[in-house]
Structure 1
Amino acid sequence: MEVIFMNRLSKLSGQHEEHAQLWIGEEEGAWHLGWSRYEEGDREDSSWYEGSSWDELLHIYRHQLAIQMSEGYRPLIQGLFHESEDLKSRSYGGQRLHCYSERYGNEELYADLCTWRRRRAAADRKAPYFIATNRLLRMISAFVPQTMDELMQLPGVGESKANEYGQEWMELTSGVERSTAFPLDWVQSVLSEDEYESWLYKQKEQKYKQELDKFTTRKQVLEGMKEGYTLEEIVNRSGLSRRELIELLETLDLEGYETDSLLDAELAVMPEQEQEAVWNAYEELGDSFLKPVLHKVYGGDKPGGGNLEQVYERLRMIRIRFRRHAEAERNAG
């Protein structure tokens, strides 16, 4: 195997320094990604990836590397994913307050704030994150503001939010003992650089995990389509809901992937006359919204006793073909 990339990393564990190597190799058209850890003369190897997809390797590389760096490993050669620029641009202000609040927040107060948010969201008929984000509630729990002036020193609290919810927050924080004070410029000196960097890499780990999951799901859907699986089989394989899968099919079709085989199989049970009526409704009403098309074709009734979600599925599948046809006509013109 030819190693095409290698970097050495190390971390301090008490008075002991641990070493590791991250490497990428190629052998007979297959990519290999691995991690080797050295401790007291012993070497422990871990294979992170072996396969033909460079894109998949990169997704796994970023996620696994972020895990190791959040646990304290630092590279000999910087720039593994432009972390030096990222750290420089995010070293001050709200990010450090966010880091401190996650590491040193008052969990009991945070739970009380979350309970308050659920009740207020239900009363106002709003999504909880419109009331206050987890990040903001973490900051309130860590810094325990007890006046409106202190509250408004927290990132994410403007005059409008303070006027609307501030008094209720003050009621929750008023009886809580705190060991810190405002203003919060002391956070800069309390957080060590290594502690802050490890927290930032933990955020990267979560971000890259989401990207890896999205890539894996997309790969499973494409493989399922290639193998001729039904919509339900792909749902079971990928973990997506039927609606999420059809929305992904819309994206894949726009990107040029072949979706007709799957659409043919799913629409085979739908009468051609009904499909034609849906197509004509798109031509008349446009394809931006489904409800006008539904009412145009079916009025207040659902076809064949089917459930409404099934009807919308078919409308979305026909819309995939309609949009492709409309795009082809625009290009031809």
Structure 2
Amino acid sequence: MRIVFLNSLEKKDGGAMIRGAQVWIGEEEGVWRMGWNELLADGQTEDLWYEGASWSEMLHIYRHRLAAKLGEGFRPVMEDIWDEKEGLTRRGMAAQKLFCYSELNGNEPVYNELTAWRRKKASAERKAPYLIASNRLLRMISVFLPQTADELLQLPGVGENKAGEYGAELLEITKAVERKRTFPLDWVEQEIDGEVFRTWLYKQKEVKYRAEMEKFSIRRAALEALAEGLKVEDICTRTGIERRDAVELLENLEKEGYNTDDLVSAELVEMPEAEQQAVWLAYEELGDALLKPVLHKVYGTEAAEGGSLDTLYERLRLIRIRYRRHRESARHAG
């Protein structure tokens, strides 16, 4: 096997190395292999991270697995194997330090009170809780305890609109709690140990790259199902995603240029032709940006409120795939 990449890492405790490791990538007759060798007191262990023909898949796994190791405290002997500041501006790095500090120094009683407030507010406004405030924002508010609107606006994720809409209620909670540190929050940078912050950043990358890797795997499974002539239910079985998400994935694949026509035809085989034509004409009249007007046009408001609403929407989206492909072909032909 031809090694095309190799780097050494080490894990230290108090400045002394306690464990060494190597991450490597090799190739042999079109097959990529990637692994992690760890040097232990009683010998060496080898963990094969990937073996296959896909360079893209291997890179997704590499980023995720390496981020996990860096999050455990391993550091590269050769620098620049990973830049933890990648893509971050100075302002962005300052925000990350606020996130880090608040997560490592939690104030659970206030955080729980804030999440209870958010839950009631979301129910009253019929919104998803994250649209009101993210967990990360509530965590920061619970730790830094802003006492004024100006202080609240100094937290990343709080803009004028959010402060105007929810600021008074948030401050009512935080003002009732005694705080030990004040604003501005420039003291945070001095409070965070540099190595602790690096480890925290790597753990954030691990979460990010895990999500990207899972998304890549789902996309690959969907493409394989298309090539095999399978249906939506088969995609759901292979990937574990819901039908709604599978149809959305098909829409995105169609936009990328993949042909989903066989699968769409198989899914619509039980839908009467006249009904399909009515949906098509509704798209021509109303456009394809919104599904609800088309639903009401074809089925009426009463029928659209029945128990088969998910099925109706799925069929509308499948026909929209065809409609958009037809419209794009006509545009290029013209």
Same fold (TM > 0.5) = yes
- SS of the equivalent of 2:101 reads helix
> Against the structure 1 CA distance between its residues 71 and 228, is the aligned structure 2 distance closer, same or farther, given a 3 Å change threshold?
same
1:15-46 Cα offsets, whole Å, 9 max, x none, are 44321111001112111110111122621111
Partner of 1:283: 284
How do 1:271-310 and structure 2 match up within 5 A? 271-300=272-301, 302=303, 307-310=308-311
- SS of the equivalent of 1:83 reads coil
Partner of 1:318: 319
Gaps of 5+ in 2: none
- SS of the equivalent of 2:56 reads helix
**Mapped partners of 1:92, 1:217: distance in 2:** 32
Q: Which amino acid aligns with 1:40?
A: A
Q: Which amino acid aligns with 2:12?
A: L
Q: Which amino acid aligns with 1:136?
A: L
> Against the structure 1 CA distance between its residues 324 and 154, is the aligned structure 2 distance closer, same or farther, given a 3 Å change threshold?
closer
Q: Which amino acid aligns with 1:154?
A: L
Q: Which amino acid aligns with 1:211?
A: E
Deviation at 1:130, TM superposition (A): 3.4
- SS of the equivalent of 1:299 reads helix
The reply on whether 1:269 has 2:270 as its aligned counterpart is yes
> Against the structure 1 CA distance between its residues 40 and 121, is the aligned structure 2 distance closer, same or farther, given a 3 Å change threshold?
same
The reply on whether 1:224 has 2:205 as its aligned counterpart is no
**Mapped partners of 2:297, 2:148: distance in 1:** 57
Q: Which amino acid aligns with 1:59?
A: H
- SS of the equivalent of 1:77 reads coil
Instruction: Check the 8 A contact 1:302/1:311 in 2, yes or no.
Output: no
Partner of 1:207: 208
Partner of 2:74: 73
Q: Which amino acid aligns with 2:107?
A: N
1:278-312 Cα offsets, whole Å, 9 max, x none, are 22332233222223333333334649x98122122
> Against the structure 1 CA distance between its residues 284 and 182, is the aligned structure 2 distance closer, same or farther, given a 3 Å change threshold?
closer
Q: Which amino acid aligns with 2:202?
A: Y
Q: Which amino acid aligns with 2:133?
A: A
**Mapped partners of 2:62, 2:285: distance in 1:** 49
Q: Which amino acid aligns with 1:122?
A: S
How do 1:116-265 and structure 2 match up within 5 A? 116-148=117-149, 150-158=151-159, 161-162=162-163, 164-265=165-266
TM-score (norm. length: structure 1): 0.90
> Against the structure 1 CA distance between its residues 311 and 169, is the aligned structure 2 distance closer, same or farther, given a 3 Å change threshold?
closer
Deviation at 1:227, TM superposition (A): 2.3
Instruction: Check the 8 A contact 2:10/2:17 in 1, yes or no.
Output: no
Matched residue pairs, number? 332
1:92-125 Cα offsets, whole Å, 9 max, x none, are 4222111100111112221111111112232344
Q: Which amino acid aligns with 1:4?
A: V
Deviation at 1:47, TM superposition (A): 0.8
- SS of the equivalent of 1:220 reads helix
**Mapped partners of 1:288, 1:159: distance in 2:** 30
TM-score (norm. length: structure 2): 0.89
Runs of 4+ in 1 over 6 A off after TM superposition: none
1:70-108 Cα offsets, whole Å, 9 max, x none, are 121111233334435446746742221111001111122
The reply on whether 1:103 has 2:114 as its aligned counterpart is no
> Against the structure 1 CA distance between its residues 162 and 289, is the aligned structure 2 distance closer, same or farther, given a 3 Å change threshold?
closer
- SS of the equivalent of 2:118 reads helix
Moved more, 262-271 or 138-147: 138-147
Deviation at 1:141, TM superposition (A): 1.8
Alpha-carbon RMSD across the aligned residues, in angstroms, is 2.5
> Against the structure 1 CA distance between its residues 117 and 52, is the aligned structure 2 distance closer, same or farther, given a 3 Å change threshold?
same
**Mapped partners of 1:158, 1:291: distance in 2:** 32
Instruction: Check the 8 A contact 2:221/2:239 in 1, yes or no.
Output: yes
Moved more, 68-77 or 275-284: 275-284
Deviation at 1:150, TM superposition (A): 4.3
**Mapped partners of 1:268, 1:28: distance in 2:** 44
**Mapped partners of 1:313, 1:242: distance in 2:** 8
> Against the structure 1 CA distance between its residues 177 and 282, is the aligned structure 2 distance closer, same or farther, given a 3 Å change threshold?
closer
- SS of the equivalent of 1:273 reads helix
Moved more, 177-186 or 23-32: 177-186
> Against the structure 1 CA distance between its residues 65 and 26, is the aligned structure 2 distance closer, same or farther, given a 3 Å change threshold?
same
> Against the structure 1 CA distance between its residues 177 and 57, is the aligned structure 2 distance closer, same or farther, given a 3 Å change threshold?
same
Gaps of 5+ in 1: none
Deviation at 1:151, TM superposition (A): 3.9
Moved more, 177-186 or 272-281: 177-186
Q: Which amino acid aligns with 1:260?
A: D
